[in-house]
A and B are shown apart, each in its own frame.
Chain A
């Protein structure tokens, strides 16, 4: 069913956005490790309040 038909029935497109959490987790964990190691580091710094 296309987006217009879903919306015309009062439905939501959010189910289409659903991800496979296990796969996403595996991909992002690998990405972080790879990106940090390629820059010659093994560590990360994260801001827990960035905008307030």
Chain B
């Protein structure tokens, strides 16, 4: 998100977990990025006293955009997200820190992210919180009001908002996802409960079709011990 609530909250939580001196925030604007995003990000950096660096991605992205002038907003957005991933992982080595993700449960369930782009991270500390809960925790942690009140936006074009692009509000979809995922309602039960049928079908389809973004790539089982099938050690396995 663009100097938004999710990344601000992760910065606050990481600074508390590790100490401000152990956290580095990267600002990676493209030439059309909203300047407000940079100033909102600066508020977080100033409040926490964490290290920061601004790495423009414009010169990295332009050659590919020129190669494919017909490129639509989705392709351009994906390229920018993946360029930022490259910068972050390079800084991960330089700073000696792990890339901490800023995805929330709502966008992960909807697949509203770029795989190997903004969803790329070593850990995802807020991915079990719906957007509604992100706001609640951010308020409690003292995230600046201007960030809390800003409409969520991926800043893909001037005036773009997540909710406008998705076609529904986070409050609406969080309630539906809560029933589908946490309460294990079937889609037809959500419709019976009063949700619009087209809305339920659209959201549930989005959740199902984007499941591949939330798991490791599938591997066909060909041997006696296949990674992800039989070789199932936890990631913090030390044996």
B24 close to A32 (CB less than 8 A): no
B174 close to A45 (CB less than 8 A): no
Count of chain A residues with Cβ under 8 Å from any Cβ of B?
38
A39 close to B122 (CB less than 8 A): yes
Q: In chain A, residues 1-52, which have Cβ atoms closer than 8 Å to a Cβ of chain B? A: 2-4, 7-8, 12-14, 16-19, 21-22, 24-25, 28-33, 35-36, 38-39, 41-52
Count of chain B residues with Cβ under 8 Å from any Cβ of A?
76
Q: Which residues of B contact A18 (CB under 8 A)?
A: 133, 136
B34 close to A52 (CB less than 8 A): yes
B14 close to A14 (CB less than 8 A): no
Q: Which residues of A contact B84 (CB under 8 A)?
A: 47, 49-51
Provide the bound-state CA to CA distance between A7 and B176, in Å.
11
Which of B24, B137, B195 is packed against the most chain A CB atoms within 10 Å? B137
A12 close to B175 (CB less than 8 A): yes
Q: Which residues of A contact B185 (CB under 8 A)?
A: 3
Q: Which residues of B contact A43 (CB under 8 A)?
A: 18, 22-24, 95-98
Interface residues of A (CB under 8 A from B): 2-4, 7-8, 12-14, 16-19, 21-22, 24-25, 28-33, 35-36, 38-39, 41-52
